[in-house]
Copies of this chain bind each other. A is one copy, B any other.
Amino acid sequence: MYKVKVFVTLRESILDPQGTAVKGSLHSLGFEAVEDVRIGKYLEVTIDKSVENIDLAVKEMCEKLLTNVVMEDYRYEVEEVVAP
């Protein structure tokens, strides 16, 4: 079994209004030291061992469905889990 962690972030050049709003709220709560907040997605995908090329499979999933490649970047970590 593979446990894949996918991190999806907005590209640097894309404005992040949600992050800006959260930064404002953190300032209001007294965390004035916060300089920037960027918000992305974090996915944990569990995949059966039967997949031959896990890297290729994850890249395809990310580019076909999980990310918008025009606006977002992604990176991922694959962990092999031995079922108990």
Contacts and interface: CB of A to CB of B under 8 A. Distances in A.
Contact of A22 (B46, B60, B66): B66
Number of copies of this kind of chain in the complex? 2
Contacts of A37: 43-46
Contacts of A64: 29
Task: Using C-beta atoms within 8 Å of the partner chain, give the interface range for chain A.
Answer: 20 to 34
Contacts of A71: none
Nearest to A52: B33
Interface in A18-71: 19, 22, 25-26, 29, 31, 33-48, 50-51, 57, 60-61, 64-66
A42 B39 contact: yes
A56 to B, nearest CB: 11
Contacts of A44: 9, 36-38, 40
